[in-house]
C-alpha cells in the first residue's frame, strides 16, 4: 500500500511539472540579435534533474547582458526567442533568498521565474537588499577575481583604468579591502572622479588631456615604486598611454612584474603594443571572464563578496526598473556610475 502511495505521489509531481510548461510568465524577450527586448509572455520553465526553480526578485542590467543581446560577446546564441539576463536575486519555493546565475537557456534571469543548476545558487542574508545584491555581484565578482588572478599582494600599487563607472567604483573599494597600498584611478567624468577618494582612491587622474600629459601624470604619480596591478575597463588609447608610462624606467624599477587584467573595451577593441615593452617592463597581460570561471573559484569568492556587501563596506548606486518597462529602459542613457536593476 505504501509503495502504491509513493507511485501515486510521484505521478502527481510529474504531471504537475508537465502541466506547468503551459503556464505563462512575463519576461524580457528578444527574437533576434541587435533588437531591444520586449515585455512578453513566455512559457514558464520547469526544473530538471540537478536544477532548482527560482522566483526572480531582481536582475542586473549589466553591460555583459547588452553585449550578449547584440551578438558582440561570447556566449551569444542564435536560438530565439530567448530571455535576457545572466544573474539575479530570487527566492526558492521554500522562501530562501539566494543569489544565482547561469539560467538554463533560453531562460535568462529577466523574468518572473527561471531554473538554474543547484550548484549555482548562494544564500544571501536579509540585511543585504535585493537591489544592491543584483547590481553588485556581477561587477564585484569580476573585480574580485581579477585581483585574485593578478595575485595582488598587500601594499602593492593598483591602477584602475576607467574607474568612474559602477564597476570601476567597486574595483576601487575592493582593491583597498584586499590590501592595496596605493590606488591610482583614471577616468573622464570629473564629478565621478571627485567621488572616488572617499571610496579608497589615493590619486585621481583625468583622461581628458593630451596623451603626453596623461603619460607624464601617470609616471609622476606611480614613481618611485611603480605600478604592480592594472585593472583595465577601457582598452584602446587609454591603455596605450598606461603602457607607455610603465615602460618608463623610473616607473618600472620598483615593480619588476606589472600584471594587467583586461575587463572591457569601451574605448576601443585594439591597441598597439611595442615588443620592447614586454621585454623591458615585465608586463603581463591577461583577461577574466565569469562565464569561464570554475564553480570551485566562485564558491570561494562569492561568500567573501556576500560578507563584504552585507557589512556595508561595498557600495553601488542603483536604479530600479520595472520589467514591464524593459524596452524603454534598454534604450535610455543611464549615468555610468549607476547600475540598472530590473524588477519583475
Residue identified by cell 547588452 is 66
**CATH classification code of 2-123+316-343:** 3.90.180.10
Output the CA angle 338-341-344, nearest 5 degrees: 165
pLDDT of 338 reads 84
- Domain residue ranges in the chain: 2-123+316-343, 138-291
Q: How many CA atoms lie within 13 A of 294 on its CB side?
A: 4
Same fold, 2-123+316-343 and 138-291: no
**What integer pLDDT is reported at residue 15 of this predicted model?**
41
Say whether pTM exceeds 0.75.
yes
Q: What is the pLDDT of residue 335?
A: 59
pLDDT the model gives residue 12: 35
pLDDT at site 224: 84
Query: For the chain, which ranges sit under pLDDT 50?
Result: 1-19
Residue 22 burial (CB count, 10 A): 8
Annotation: CATH topology of 138-291: Rossmann fold (3.40.50)
Enter the C-alpha cell of residue 325: 518597462
In DSSP terms, which residues pair with 160 in a beta bridge?
A: 185, 231
Amino acid at each position: 500500500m505504501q509503495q502504491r502511495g509513493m507511485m501515486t505521489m510521484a505521478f502527481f509531481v510529474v504531471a504537475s511539472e508537465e502541466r506547468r510548461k503551459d503556464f505563462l510568465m512575463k519576461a524580457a524577450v528578444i527574437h533576434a540579435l541587435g533588437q531591444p527586448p520586449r515585455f512578453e509572455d513566455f512559457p514558464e520553465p520547469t526544473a530538471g534533474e540537478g536544477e532548482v526553480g527560482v522566483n526572480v526578485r531582481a536582475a542586473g542590467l549589466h553591460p555583459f547582458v547588452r553585449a550578449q543581446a547584440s551578438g558582440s560577446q561570447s556566449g551569444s546564441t542564435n536560438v530565439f526567442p530567448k530571455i535576457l539576463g545572466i544573474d539575479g536575486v530570487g527566492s526558492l519555493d521554500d522562501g530562501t533568498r539566494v543569489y544565482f546565475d547561469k539560467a538554463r537557456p533560453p531562460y535568462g534571469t529577466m523574468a518572473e521565474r527561471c531554473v538554474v543548476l543547484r550548484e549555482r545558487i548562494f544564500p544571501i542574508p536579509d540585511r543585504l537588499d535585493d537591489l544592491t545584491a543584483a547590481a553588485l555581484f556581477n561587477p564585484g565578482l569580476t573585480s574580485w577575481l581579477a585581483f585574485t588572478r593578478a595575485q595582488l599582494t598587500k601594499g602593492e600599487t593598483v591602477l584602475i583604468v576607467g574607474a568612474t563607472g559602477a564597476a570601476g567604483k567597486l574595483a576601487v573599494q575592493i582593491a583597498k579591502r584586499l590590501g592595496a597600498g596605493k590606488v591610482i584611478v583614471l577616468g573622464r567624468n570629473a564629478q565621478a572622479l571627485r567621488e572616488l577618494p572617499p571610496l579608497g582612491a589615493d590619486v585621481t587622474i583625468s583622461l581628458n588631456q593630451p596623451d603626453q600629459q596623461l603619460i607624464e601624470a601617470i609616471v609622476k604619480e606611480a614613481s618611485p615604486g611603480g605600478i604592480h596591478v592594472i585593472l583595465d575597463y577601457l582598452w584602446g588609447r587609454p591603455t596605450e598611454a598606461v603602457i607607455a608610462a610603465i615602460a618608463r624606467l623610473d616607473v618600472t624599477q620598483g615593480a619588476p612584474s606589472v600584471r594587467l587584467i583586461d575587463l572591457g573595451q569601451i574605448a576601443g577593441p585594439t591597441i598597439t603594443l611595442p615588443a620592447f615593452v614586454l621585454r623591458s617592463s615585465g608586463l603581463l597581460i591577461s583577461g577574466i571572464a565569469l562565464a569561464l570561471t570554475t564553480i570551485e573559484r566562485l564558491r570561494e569568492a562569492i561568500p567573501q563578496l556576500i560578507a563584504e556587501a552585507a557589512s556595508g563596506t561595498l557600495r553601488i548606486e542603483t536604479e530600479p526598473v520595472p520589467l514591464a518597462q524593459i524596452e524603454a529602459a534598454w534604450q535610455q542613457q543611464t549615468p555610468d556610475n549607476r547600475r540598472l536593476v530590473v524588477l519583475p
